[in-house]
Structure 1
Amino acid sequence: MKRNVLIIGAGGVAHVVAHKCAQNNAVLGDIHIASRTLSKCRAIIDSVHEKGSMQQDRHLQAHALDALDIDATKFLIRATHSRIVINAGSPFLNMSVLQACIETGAAYLDTAIHEDPSKVCETPPWYANYEWKRRQACKDARVTAVLGVGFDPGVVNAYARYALDTCFDSVDSIDIIDINAGNHGRYFATNFDPEINFREFTSTVWSWENNAWKANAMFERSQEWDMPVTGKSTTYLTGHDELHSMSQNLGVPNIRFWMSFGEHYINVFTVLKNLGLLSEQPVRTARGLEVVPLEVVKAVLPDPASLAAGYTGKTCIGDLIKGVKNGIPQEVLIYNVCDHKVCFEEVGSQAISYTAGVPAVAAAMLIANGTWDVGEMVNVEELDPMPFIALMNRMGLVTRIRDAQGDRVVDPELDMDQKAVAGRRVSYG
C-alpha cells in the first residue's frame, strides 16, 4: 500500500486536492503541499483547518519548491517519504515532475497534458509529443503514472470506458460536452489559469472524425445541447487533451469536445487575440522591456481562486455516446452536475476546480489501495472505471446516466455485484 502524498501546486485545483486528501488521510497518510510561493501553500493549509477537513491528526505541511528543478523535486519526495505525487500545478511542469517520480519510484498523477511554453496546439496526438515518450521508463521502473485524471480529461475518459464496457456492442461517436452555467459576477475572468485557458483557444482546433484528425478554427463550429439541469446551451468545438488518448485507445471513429461560451467571453477573447495580447511569444516594449503578452493579460485578470466566494449556478459535464447494442441503435448520456455554491461551502472552491481536483484524489486513493497501482503509464480510459466512479460518488461527484430507460445515478458497486452473481450462475450451471 502506498501512503503519503506530495501535492505540486497551490492554485484552485491544488486547493481542492489538499482538502480532499485531508478528508481521506486515513488512506493517504501525510500530506505535503509544494509551490514556488510558500505563502499560497500555507493559505491552503489554513483553509483545510478552518473547514475541519482533516480526517485524522496527521502531518499537513507546506514547502517551497521550483518543480522545474528535478533534483529539488526528487529531494522533497524522498524527504517527505511521499509515495504518491499529485501534480496540480501548471502543465509546463509535467515532464519535470514525472521524471522526478520515475527516479524516486513515486506514483505520478496529473490533470492536464504537458505543454511547452513556446508552442501552442502542436501536431496530434499531443501525449505522443511528451508524456508517452516516457512510457518505457515508467514500465522499467515499475512506476504508476496516471495521466490526465481531472474531469476533462479524466472522468470523461472513464465515462467513455464505462459506456463501451456496459452499454454498447459498438460505438460510433463520443461527444464530450462541458457546460458551465454559473455566474462569477466579474466583468471578465477565466475559471482556471488564464494562460492555460487562452492557449487552448488561440490556434487550431483538433477533433477526431472518421478515424482521422480534423482541423478547424476556434469558434468555427457550434452546437446547441439540452443538458440536464443547465438546459439549452450553445457550445463550440474545441481541441482538448482527452481526444488525444481516447482516439488511440478506444477504437471509436468520432470523438469531439464541445465547450460552452457566452457572447461576452467570445467578444473579449476576440479583441485580445486580434490585438496580439494572447500571444505566447515575447515582445519588446518601448522601454526595452521584454514581456510575453499572454503573461501580462494573466497578471491583470482575477485569480480564478478568487471567484469562488460569489460564484452561483451549476456545471454539467458529460459524454453523449451513440452506438449499437444487440443490433439496436442506442444513445446514452453519462454526466455529472456540480454546484458552485455547494463546492464553496464544503472546501472554499468553485465547481471548475472541484471537478478537476476530486478525481485526482480518488485516483490517488485507488493507487494507495493497489486497485490502480499498475506499475506503468496509463491514461484513464485504460483503467477499470467501476471503482473510480463508485469512489467519486461518495466523494462529492455523483455520476448519472440518461438513456431510453430514464435518468438515474450510475451505481458501479451494484453493477459489479450483478456481474458477480451472473458469474456464479455461469459457474454453477
Structure 2
Amino acid sequence: MKPNVLIIGAGGVAHVVAHKCAQNNHRLGELHIASRKLEKCHRIVESVYSKGSMKMPGHFQTHSLDAMNVAATVQLIRDTKAGIVINVGSAFLNMSVMSACIETGAAYIDTAIHEDPSKVCEPPPWYANYEWKRREECDRAGITAILGCGFDPGVVNAYARLAKDDYLDEIDSLDIIDINAGKHGHYFATNFDPEINFREFTSTVWSWQNSQWQAAKMFEHKQTWDLPVVGQQATYLTGHDEIHSLSHHLGIPDIRFWMSFGEHYINVFTVLNNLGLLSEKPVVTAEGQEIIPLKVVKAVLPDPASLAPRYTGKTCIGSLLKGRKNGEEREVFIYNVCDHKQTYEEVGSQAISYTAGVPAVAAALLIADGTWNVRRMVNVEELPPQPFIALMNEIGLPTQVIDSAASGTSPVEVIDAADTLRS
C-alpha cells in the first residue's frame, strides 16, 4: 500500500522534495505540501506540473499550516492519511512535527537538527538535548524517525558508515568537506534560510578531537584542499549537526567539518556580526518598535529559492576517512559532485537545495518499501548505507569513491593547513 506523503515547509529544499516525490509518486501515493504561506505551496505545485514531474496522474494538494501547532499538524496528518511526513520547514519545528508523528503513527524524516529560537550554538551533543530524549516515545509508538537526512547531515553520515563497513577496519579521522564552487550573481546571499545559516556561525565552533569536544572560534582554523572537479578550495572549521551523532555512534576519535567560504562572504558576515545585525535578541528602535536584527537581515536578503536561475558552477561534498585495512594504512574519499545549472534545468532549483532534498525523498522511498522502516528513532549512520546510496545514484545524486588502496596516493591533498589541527 502506498503511504501518502506530507511535506512540511515551502522553501528551496521543500521545492526539491516536492519534485522528487512527484517523480516517484507511483511508489509514494498521494502528495501534500503544507506551510504557513499557502501561496508558496501553490507555486511549488505549479512548478511540479509545469516541469512534468508527476510520474503518473495523481493528487498533489496544498494546505495552510502552522506546524508549531501540534494539534493542527495531527489533524492534517489524519486528514491526508499521510504515512510519511517529510519535515523540511525551519529547524525550530522539529519537536512539534515529531510530536504529531508520534501521536498519529506517521513516519518522520527531517534534514537538520532541532534548534531552540532563543538559543544559539548550544553546548554539545545537540541531538541529546532534544531529539534523542524522545527515543523511547518513538519506540513505544513504533514509528520510524530518521534524523538529519539531508546531505550534511545525512549522506555524509552514510558515507562514513559505508567506509566503516566496506573500506576500513579502524578509522582514525573523519573530515567532512563541503564545497560550493558556484556563483549566484548577487552581491550577497545565503544558500539556505539566512536565519539558520547565520546562527551556525555566530558562536562557538565545536569539533570532536581526541574523543572529546573542542571549542574554537569561527574562521579560526583554515585548510585548503585539492578536490575532484572543483580543484583547490579554502575551507574553515565549522560546527555542524552530524558531528554530534557520528561521534556517538561510530567511535571515531577525530571528526571535523570543513565548509568553503569566500573572502567576500567572510567580510560581509564580519561587518554584519560586529554591528549586532546577526543577533537573535530583540532590540527597540527609536520609534519604540521591538525588532530582532537577524530577522531584518533575513527579510532584506534574497530568498535562497530565488537564486537558482542565475546559479552556475558545482558543489563537491564528501567524507574523507583515514585509518587501516588489514593492518595497512588506507584513506578513502566518498563524495558527490552536483551541478547548479543541471539541477535548475531538472527541477528549477540550485544545487544546495537539491543535495539537501533528494536524500530525504530517498529515505521516504526506503521507508515505503520497508528497507528503512525500522520503527524507531535513528540517525542515518545507524542504517544500512548501501541501499540508500544506490537509490540516490538512480534519482539524482551519484556517489563516487577515491580509494588510496587503488590509486596508491592520498585521495584528497591538503594544499595549505593554516591551523594547528591534525589532518
- TM-score calculated relative to the size of structure 2: 0.96
Q: Distance in 1 between matches of 2:248 and 2:391?
A: 26
Matched with 1:225 is 225
The reply on whether 1:164 has 2:189 as its aligned counterpart is: no
Q: Which amino acid aligns with 1:140?
A: R
CA deviation map 1:320-352 (0-9, x unaligned): 100000111101100000000000000000000
CA deviation map 1:180-238 (0-9, x unaligned): 00000000000000000000000000000000000000000000111100000000000
Q: Distance in 2 between matches of 1:376 and 1:117?
A: 27
- Classify the secondary structure of the residue corresponding to 1:375: coil
Q: Distance in 2 between matches of 1:104 and 1:175?
A: 38
Q: Distance in 2 between matches of 1:136 and 1:333?
A: 35
Matched with 2:419 is none
Q: Tell me if the contact between 1:6 and 1:84 (Cα under 8 Å) persists in the aligned partners.
A: yes
Q: Deviation at 1:18? A: 0.2
- Classify the secondary structure of the residue corresponding to 2:201: coil
Matched with 2:375 is 375
Structure 1 residue runs of 4+, over 3 Å off? none
- Classify the secondary structure of the residue corresponding to 1:200: helix
The reply on whether 1:336 has 2:299 as its aligned counterpart is: no
Matched with 1:327 is 327
Matched with 1:62 is 62
Matched with 1:355 is 355
Q: Distance in 2 between matches of 1:63 and 1:251?
A: 43
Q: Distance in 2 between matches of 1:193 and 1:89?
A: 10
Question: For 1:58-137, what aligned pairs fall within 5 Å after superposition?
Answer: 58-137=58-137
Q: Which amino acid aligns with 2:272?
A: L
Q: Distance in 2 between matches of 1:2 and 1:101?
A: 17
Q: Distance in 2 between matches of 1:146 and 1:32?
A: 19
Matched with 1:261 is 261
Q: Distance in 1 between matches of 2:22 and 2:151?
A: 20
Q: Distance in 1 between matches of 2:117 and 2:292?
A: 10
Matched with 1:316 is 316
Q: Tell me if the contact between 1:2 and 1:367 (Cα under 8 Å) persists in the aligned partners.
A: no
Matched with 2:244 is 244
Q: Distance in 1 between matches of 2:16 and 2:269?
A: 28
Q: Distance in 2 between matches of 1:273 and 1:8?
A: 31
Q: Deviation at 1:2? A: 5.4
Q: Distance in 1 between matches of 2:32 and 2:369?
A: 19
Q: Deviation at 1:403? A: 1.4
Q: Tell me if the contact between 1:113 and 1:148 (Cα under 8 Å) persists in the aligned partners.
A: yes
Question: For 1:187-206, what aligned pairs fall within 5 Å after superposition?
Answer: 187-206=187-206
Question: For 1:4-15, what aligned pairs fall within 5 Å after superposition?
Answer: 4-15=4-15
Matched with 1:17 is 17
Matched with 1:426 is none
Q: Distance in 1 between matches of 2:2 and 2:175?
A: 36
Unaligned runs of 5+ in 2: 409-423
Q: Tell me if the contact between 1:343 and 1:354 (Cα under 8 Å) persists in the aligned partners.
A: yes
- TM-score calculated relative to the size of structure 1: 0.94
Unaligned runs of 5+ in 1: 408-429
CA deviation map 1:150-188 (0-9, x unaligned): 000000000000000000110000000000000000000
The reply on whether 1:304 has 2:304 as its aligned counterpart is: yes
Matched with 2:287 is 287
Q: Distance in 1 between matches of 2:172 and 2:292?
A: 42
CA deviation map 1:94-125 (0-9, x unaligned): 00000000000000000000000110010100
Q: Distance in 2 between matches of 1:92 and 1:76?
A: 19
Identical columns (%): 73
- Classify the secondary structure of the residue corresponding to 2:388: helix
CA deviation map 1:18-76 (0-9, x unaligned): 00000000111110000000000000000000100000111100000000000000000
